[in-house]
Amino acid sequence: MQLKIMMPKKKHLSAGRAPLILFLCQMISALEVPLDLVQPPTITQQSPKDYIIDPRENIVIQCEAKGKPPPSFSWTRNGTHFDIDKDPLVTMKSGSGTLTVNIMSEGKAETYEGVYQCTARNERGAAISNNIVIRPSRSPLWTKEKLERITLRNGQSLVLPCRPPVGLPPPIIFWMDNSFQRLPQSERVSQGLNGDLYFSNVLPEDTREDYICYARFNHTQTIQQKQPISVKVISVDELNDTIAANLSDTEFYGAKSHRERPPTFLTPEGNASRKEELRGNVLSLECIAEGLPTPIIYWIKEDGTLPINRTFYRNFKKTLQIVQVTEADSGNYQCIAKNALGAIHHIISVTVKAAPYWIIAPQNLVLSPGEDGTLICRANGNPKPRISWLLNGVLIEIAPDDPSRKIDGDTIIFSNVQERSSAVYQCNASNEYGYLLANAFVNVLAEPPRIFTSADTLYQVIANRPALLDCAFFGSPLPTIEWFKGAKGSALREDIYVLHENGTLEIPVAQKDSTGTYTCVARNKLGMAKNDIHLEIKDPTRIIKQPEYAVVQRGSTVSFECIVKHDHTLIPTVTWLKDHGELPSDRRFTVDKDHLVVADVSDDDGGTYTCVANTTLDSVSASAVLSVVDVPNPPFDLELTDQLDRSVQLSWTPGDDNNSPITKFIIEYEDAMHEPGLWHHQTEVPGAQTTAQLKLSPYVNYSFRVMAVNSLGRSLPSEASEQYLTKAAEPDKNPTAVEGLGSEPDNLVITWKPLNGFESNGPGLQYKVSWRQKDGDDEWTSMVVAGVSKYIVSGTPTFVPYLIKVQALNDAGFAPEPAVVLGHSGEDLPMVAPGNVHVNVVNSTLAEVHWDPVPLKSIRGHLQGYRIYYWKAQSSSTRNRRHIEKKILTFQGSKTHGMLPGLEPFSHYTLNVRVVNGKGEGPASPDRVFNTPEGVPSAPSSLKIVNPTLDSLTLEWEPPSHPNGILTEYTLKYQPINSTHELGPLVDLKIPANKTRWTLKNLNFSTRYKFYFYAQTVAGSGSQITEEAITTMDEAMASRQVDIATQGWFIGLMCAVALLILILLIVCFIRRNKGGKYPVKEKEDAHADPEIQPMKEDDGTFGEYSDAEDHKPLKKGSRTPSDRTVKKEDSDDSLVDYGEGVNGQFNEDGSFIGQYSGKKEKEPPEGNESSEAPSPVNAMNSFV
């Protein structure tokens, strides 16, 4: 199916189809004739219709045209031929019609004012330019005038006229002073459209000598100024009688009263006016009113609404502007001026006229011989424009006849044209507001099709976007266009593709399968032309990780991420923008492949950051907002109002919250009279509040400051407010912490915490101190003191209760009645010792003491408790009496018994008891003597093995450092250990207490033994000490062992044994068998009894050996419980009886220990380990 040239249906152009705009513009433009073909002239460039020139520069009047053959140019001036050759100042540019008038060397611009028109002509016709009106710009001076000083009363209205000179173009008006500073304008004072300065009412501050109106002429870049105007605003109350006598009302500017008055209009005058504006211009309506108070202006349109997007208010709503005004904006507009005393309105009737504007402008027409065609020239305006036709610059009515054309109003109809029908036609549409002139040629040609688009052009398009394949063509008659895809493809169907009038093929939504070669074929009766176009579809560029909104504190670092995915054949460039502009040129901004990092963020860094990824085909972007937050700026403009004796209102203006809302304000005060430089917390108020009612104290010179708080923290303090001194008053409170305690038996010391200066409420702060005995009938005794916080009452009985009160007073009066507190006169030492003291010995380290309480009257003070002194005076074992340092235990309150812990066993103690009050201790009770029973001894001080022989070992030791009784004997237990660390039979020996050396005989040679040694008293066995030693071996055996150890078979065997042991160790580790370890001498002071480990009864072999934490010999088959817990033995003494409960006991010697015992199971033989490797000698013994 052939796809014929067609005008496409109207389509909505979305942003994604923006490239269509270019082609649609080409569609509606005239068919371009190649410049190598014969064609009439076409004007391509010309000067504006109203051409205002700078008289100081050369005049350049443009006229450019194209055609084949190249056109020649001529000019008319004011309707007659302008002979350029006769004017030496005028030259024409070669190959162009542009004129240059050289007035900089000589001549005047005014000489060349006039209406110019250019004509471009060749053998096919003539094109003409618009009528170009040349006028030099003008910036005349103000005429000299004498301006009198204007004097008027406060509140009157005033208009300062500007009346600038008429310039070309009109000047821009503004008012300034002598310092070239613009005068401030407001709802009260403003400049009108005519340049005058309007005052709705004047104030004394309007008085000045230099109201100057300036006119700026932009074309010549000059500024002219009017003579300064002097204004004096006075008040009638300021006039004295002399001035009033010599100054009549008529000498004042105006005669209106300065009293308040309703509005009246200064401009426009009357109740109604008319305004005419041209279509497309800016409609400006103005209403300025005077009155007191200053009126406010409102605007409405009768029978309609103001266009929302085209309406703007200027000059404090005194000017209403509507841009791009149309005929629909005609109507009545009402401005209303209103103040508190009334309102006034003015109606402006607006009529919108229109200079001619195109509906259909004539287009160039290319026809082949014998074809038909039309030229249409359709315009509109208000009033309706008149259409006239010209042929080659001459009115068509007087042009030569052509039988192929027929004129029908705004249309020329051509039929059966021939080559002689080629010409340039001009259409002129004009009314009283202007004209339109358009050139359109008729070119009769016979040309086969041409395609101008380059052959094999490659188009690359992003998937899912429109693809536009260009096929620019020409031919006469106009060719038909067909498109094909592929070498053998059929014509493309109209329902999928769109063929535009200019030959462009549009694929509305290009897909991957749209890739390929497309062929454009142009045909007319004179021939055919074709062209291949190649299309590639690319994957779109996407931002798969977009930058995210960030809130950071000032001074920190922020990072934005932007990860781009793109077609592998395209190379993207990633650009970062800030607020749609370039990033600041600052080293703090660093950009890498996927990130933008901003270091040391400042307030100016806040904004929108955009990541833009560009390829040659598409562009994508993603944005994120950075909010820079920080603690608020300090408040400012602190003001104190409503100042009363006990309150004041503080108001302030918040500082910038730095993008984090203020949650509260903290108010602090300084007392410049009593504590200058020290700020105290006053109160806090919510962040939405900017005033606070503050409670005040009398006689304080207050200053206040405010701090703002947000989620980031607290602002710096504001500047301090003004100072405010409150009046003096009597104190509101009395001293606190009042006490009465005697320092001597015959006095009463009364103390208190004094009031500070802030609490004094006035000058002359003093204290009235009052006292009397609680149980007596005496009257209050009082004394007034100042500058102290203590008063001593002498001559009081010992330890007698007193009632006490302290009252504050100042020059303004007394504080409220104070509270009464109870005190006591001074204490004396107790007179009586506790009686009936007796001791109950609980065990060898603990005794309990009992006594009778002392009568309260004899204490003569506050009972603090009882104190026991005790000391060890004699050792029962040595009978060596010597004085030991006394120990003291104090029992608080009225207790009559106590426990003495930590006593030494088998010792002689003496004690006494005394009562204690605030003054000190009373007399001691008679001494009581008691003895502690024997306890178990400590471990022997040392144990060492000396003189080892082949079958004997000698042991030497030192007795226990703390025998805690009379030693009865020593116990020695020992057992052999073989090379696999198994334990042999245990031997038990009893050694007399007077021995310190013992020799063991008949031992095995070259054998390791472990020894367990402890002492005993009648109370039991003490802690043990352990040691190990090895007997020596004979020389023959050593020689034999060395010989065997050097044999190769023995070395190999030992390596195999080592490998086997390594394997067993790994197996044991996997099975997590934790028994059988033998760390040598790991704990030698463990409490153990070797007798719980007999030999095996069935075969007499050694039991398994492990040197555990308690260093006990291991019983055959014993094992540590799986949960590795120990059993706690019964304790001798417990602290529970006299103090807090403790998980432990006191031993007989008074030391605190934890007693425990436990049994261990036998390990599998292959799991045995030692903390040291077996020696070759022991290994040898195991094989003998």
Neighbours of 632 (CB within 10 A): 27
Band of pLDDT at residue 789, cut at 50, 70 and 90: very high
Region 1039-1050 average pLDDT: 59
What gap in Å lies between CA 206 and CA 1140, rounded to an integer? 92
Contact assessment for residue 541 and residue 621, using Cβ atoms and an 8 Å cutoff = no
pLDDT at 237 over 50: yes
Per the listing, tokens 């749209």 go with 514
Residue in 864, 854, 752, 742 with CA at minimum distance from that of residue 801: 742
Q: Tell me the CA end-to-end span of the chain in Å, nearest whole number.
A: 115
1146 burial class (0-12, 13-18, 19+ CB within 10 angstroms)?
buried
pLDDT of residue 1080: 36
pLDDT at 720 over 90: yes
* Token pair belonging to 1055: 């390596």
Band of pLDDT at residue 32, cut at 50, 70 and 90: confident
Region 704-731 average pLDDT: 95
Region 980-1003 average pLDDT: 90
DSSP symbol at 1061: H
pLDDT of residue 249: 45
Residue in 934, 994, 1001, 949 with CA at minimum distance from that of residue 974: 1001
DSSP symbol at 78: T
pLDDT at 1158 over 50: no
DSSP symbol at 1048: H
Per the listing, tokens 């093995």 go with 945
What gap in Å lies between CA 935 and CA 841, rounded to an integer? 13
Per the listing, tokens 């330019």 go with 129
CA atoms within 13 A on the CB side of 1154: 7
Cα dist. 501→5, 374, 857, 936 in Å? Answer: 6, 18, 129, 123
Band of pLDDT at residue 1114, cut at 50, 70 and 90: very low
**Between 988 and 1165, residue with greater pLDDT:** 988
pLDDT of residue 1090: 40
- Three-state DSSP class for 111? helix
CA angle 457, 461, 467 (to 5 degrees): 80
748 burial class (0-12, 13-18, 19+ CB within 10 angstroms)?
buried
Residue type, 639: E
Contacts of 385 (CB under 8 A, 6+ apart): 356, 379, 429, 430, 431, 435, 436
What gap in Å lies between CA 559 and CA 557, rounded to an integer? 7
SS3 content of the chain, % helix, strand, coil (to 5): 10, 45, 45
What gap in Å lies between CA 470 and CA 506, rounded to an integer? 9
Contacts of 30 (CB under 8 A, 6+ apart): 363, 364, 365, 440
pTM across the whole model:
0.53
pLDDT of residue 598: 96
pLDDT at 1062 over 60: yes
What gap in Å lies between CA 1103 and CA 1095, rounded to an integer? 6
655-667: pLDDT as tens digits: 999 989 999 999 9
Residue in 1174, 1173, 1177, 1176 with CA at minimum distance from that of residue 1032: 1177
CA atoms within 13 A on the CB side of 130: 20
Region 220-244 average pLDDT: 75
Residue in 712, 554, 558 with CA at minimum distance from that of residue 624: 558
In this predicted structure, which of 354-368, 709-723, 876-890, 1162-1176 has the lowest mean pLDDT? 1162-1176
Neighbours of 430 (CB within 10 A): 17
Contact assessment for residue 67 and residue 443, using Cβ atoms and an 8 Å cutoff = no
**Between 1131 and 593, residue with greater pLDDT:** 593
Q: Are strands 664-671 and 619-629 parallel, antiparallel or unpaired?
A: unpaired
Contact assessment for residue 1103 and residue 1162, using Cβ atoms and an 8 Å cutoff = yes
Phi, psi at 24, each rounded to 5°: -65, -35
Contact assessment for residue 390 and residue 396, using Cβ atoms and an 8 Å cutoff = yes
Residue type, 947: N
pLDDT of residue 1136: 34
Band of pLDDT at residue 850, cut at 50, 70 and 90: very high
pLDDT of residue 1148: 36
168-216: pLDDT as tens digits: 899 999 999 998 899 999 999 999 999 999 999 999 999 999 999 999 9
pLDDT at 1133 over 70: no
Contacts of 283 (CB under 8 A, 6+ apart): 275, 277, 321, 322, 325, 329, 350, 352
Residue in 78, 203, 219 with CA at minimum distance from that of residue 140: 219
* Token pair belonging to 322: 């509507």
DSSP symbol at 1182: H
428-465: pLDDT as tens digits: 999 999 999 999 999 999 999 999 999 999 999 999 99
* Token pair belonging to 227: 């003579």
Distance of CA 302 to the CA centre of its chain: 52
pLDDT at 402 over 60: yes
* Token pair belonging to 131: 């009528």
Cα dist. 1044→428, 784, 1057 in Å? Answer: 137, 111, 16
Contact assessment for residue 339 and residue 295, using Cβ atoms and an 8 Å cutoff = yes
Phi, psi at 191, each rounded to 5°: -95, 135
Region 1068-1078 average pLDDT: 58
- Three-state DSSP class for 189? strand
Task: Report the side by side order of strands in the sheet with 863-875.
Answer: 887-892, 863-875, 907-917, 928-931
pLDDT at 387 over 90: yes
Region 509-516 average pLDDT: 92
What gap in Å lies between CA 1171 and CA 661, rounded to an integer? 70
Largest Cα separation within the chain, whole Å, is 167
Region 474-487 average pLDDT: 91
pLDDT of residue 1036: 53
